[in-house]
Amino acid sequence: MIISRISRFISNFDNLLALFAGACVVIAVLLILSLPLPYAENQLYPKSLNAGSPLNPYDRGGPPFTQADIVVQYPENSPYAGYVTAYLTPLSGFMAAHTLYLGTTIVAHPGGILDEILYNTRGLDTVVESTILFIAFGIAAFLFRKGS
Amino acid sequence: MSSVGGATLAHLPFGDIVIYITPFTLTLFLLALVFTILVIASRPERQLDITFGADRIITKETGLTEMRFRRFMAIACGLASMGAMLTGDVFDFALFTSLVGITNVGIVAAVKSRHVQNAAFQYGLVAMAGTVPLFGAAAMVAATTGTLSMLELAKEATSVVPFAVKAFLVLGVMGEGMAPFYAAKAEMFRAPGAPYVIMCSLSSLLIFLRVIEVVLTV
Amino acid sequence: MWNEYSVGLFIVLISAAIGFLALARETDDFHRLLLIDLVEIPSLAIIALLGTDLAEALILPGLVVGISELLALSQLYIVKEGLRSRPVKSPGIEVIELAHAPLIISVFLVAYGIVLSGFTGGGIAGLGVIFYIMSRGHSERFEIVEMASGISWAVWIIAFFVFMFLPQYWYMAVMLAAVGILLKVAAKMSLMGTMWGAHDE
């Protein structure tokens, strides 16, 4: 009796999202009850702030074409890790030399610590991520063209 | 290392993300590979509509563009499953799993039927909601242990990842792999072009099997 | 030991639970889509609580996955609800000299975007393409935009393999990746413009 009612509820696919959201609420409450969680001391790619640097939140490297010192998981797999971190394009280098605020637009320029992580040490993540975007774009484009 | 999947056969390093192959993951990988090849080789089925009384049989034609699009999605789904089987990094696994989720939406969404599209939309909503626990759990693994690599996590004698975080990860995979619910209802019986829908069910099965190994290992 | 991480996690998880509770009660499809977009913010916050450079590098994929699924699902919603023949007018930018002026401005924007390169450069170059398409009312360039997206993806894969197997050529790889993201963002931006104003004639 109860089972048939449950199965009727589940078989309507409009209800499945509600069911999943309910499960998420339950697990979130379980997580809250299991707090506090420990925070590991030895993190990868630790963040250090240097307020005087023009690259402020992202300054990890020395002059371009030198190897900066960054904490990676497997240093033996990326012998050249740190070069991208230290690199700035000539335009960015010019802006860094004349203003103090290049760090706020660091995503605009190739090089820097984020590019190092995104393309070099964790490059496979970025490949999968852009594949997801490519697939989603393909679905949207197919549906759009079919509609028009 | 004490691995559930057996002894490690090989490593394939991509920077910080190291792919490792055990007999367990190799078996699942080969399964995904075989089905992807089957999808590439097979022709879509044609569905028959039989009208009783009028003595009439209509063959539903699948359009060429629709067929090619769905085949592309099915192959992408197979590749994503292969990646999810082999990867040795928790966040990378989360990304591959959401790739499986979105390709499953694509396989179903291309069908020109209001009912099927409605099911695909509902499934897409669940898959999108599933990314929240999936990425959240991966980030919590990194914060509580200081690493994302499964090889490093497996070195610990006891499990260092809290139980609730593991439950969160499994919940996320459940959200991404919920496609067969919809596929079985909307697709197999109502939509033409059946072979591609096998990928939905197979990829869900594979990511469920893999997440169990991940949860037991870390 | 209630460290800062646990306190932050406590707040974020409560907001996530509230969001999911709202999602469980909502029955309208469109509002469900909006609520899921809302619920994704706590997941980004959980990643951000990691507080290292790694966290910023993980937020980007997390954000992109959310946005791309939203793109696919909203298009699916439009098709499913049959909303495609809605009367949307593009702004219809008035130009005096139809032949040359938009072309010159677009070329300038695209060139400047290429000089900037990277993410912002892609945005500016995409803006140039949108401006050109809007002022001309062209929509047949859709396939080209789609192809550019595919090419940028391939460029990115090449950059990845250079990084992994020929790390001494890291400089070439980072430039390839920058060109890839430039093409990708430009293609996406101009696509938004095309999709929005396609049925205005």
The H or E element containing residue B29 is: helix B23-41
Question: What is the rounded distance in angstroms from the CA atom of residue B26 to the CA atom of residue B20?
Answer: 9
Is the pLDDT at B35 greater than 60? The verdict is: yes
Q: Which residue has the tokens 């963002």?
A: C185
Neighbouring chains of C at 3+ CB pairs within 8 Å? A, B
* Chain B interface mutation, best of A134, A135, A148, highest count of B Cβ atoms under 10 Å: A135
Phi, psi for C34 (deg, rounded to 5): -65, -40
Count of Cβ atoms closer than 10 Å to residue B64 Cβ:
8
Burial class (CB in 10 A: 0-12, 13-18, 19+), C98: exposed
Q: Which residue has the tokens 């078996």?
A: B27
Considering only CB atoms, A129 lies closest to which of C64, C142, C180, namely C64
Radius of gyration of chain B (CA): 19
Nearest C-alpha in A relative to C11? A32
- As a residue count, chain C comes to 201
Instruction: Say which amino acid occupies C89.
Output: K
Q: Between B64 and A142, name the one with better pLDDT.
A: A142
Query: Does the beta-carbon distance from C69 to B139 stay under 8 Å?
Result: no
- The string of pLDDT tens digits covering residues B165-214 is 999 999 999 988 876 666 555 555 555 556 677 788 888 889 999 999 88
Q: Which residue has the tokens 């989603």?
A: A136
* Chain C interface mutation, best of B87, B96, B112, B135, highest count of C Cβ atoms under 10 Å: B135
109-148 in C: which are within 8 Å (CB) of B?
A: none
Look over chain A and give the mean of its residue pLDDT values, rounded to a whole number: 81
* Four-point Cα dihedral C16, C21, C25, C30, nearest 10: 0
- Alpha-carbon gap: A22 to the closest alpha carbon of chain B (Å): 11
Least confident piece of the model among A143-147, B208-212, C46-50: A143-147
What does the DSSP 8-state code read for residue A63? S
- Alpha-carbon gap: B17 to the closest alpha carbon of chain A (Å): 6
Q: Which two tokens stand for residue B38?
A: 């089957």
- Terminal-residue alpha carbon distance, chain B: 11
A119 contacts chain C (CB < 8 A): yes
| Full 3-state SS string of chain C | CCCHHHHHHHHHHHHHHHHHHHHHHCCCHHHHHHHHHHHHHHHHHHHHCCCCHHHHHHHHHHHHHHHHHHHHHHHHHHHHHCCCCCCCCCCCCCCCCCCCHHHHHHHHHHHHHHHHCHHHHHHHHHHHHHHHHHHHCCCCCHHHHHHHHHHHHHHHHHHHHHHHHCHHHHHHHHHHHHHHHHHHHHHHHHHHHHHHCCCCC
38-57 in B: which are within 8 Å (CB) of A?
A: none
Is the pLDDT at C11 greater than 70? The verdict is: yes
User: In the prediction, which pLDDT does C201 show?
Assistant: 36
C140 contacts chain A (CB < 8 A): no
- The string of pLDDT tens digits covering residues A116-139 is 888 888 888 888 988 898 888 888
- Alpha-carbon gap: B140 to the closest alpha carbon of chain C (Å): 7
C170 contacts chain A (CB < 8 A): yes
Question: What is the rounded distance in angstroms from the CA atom of residue B132 to the CA atom of residue C41?
Answer: 9
Question: Per-domain residue ranges for chain B?
Answer: 10-217
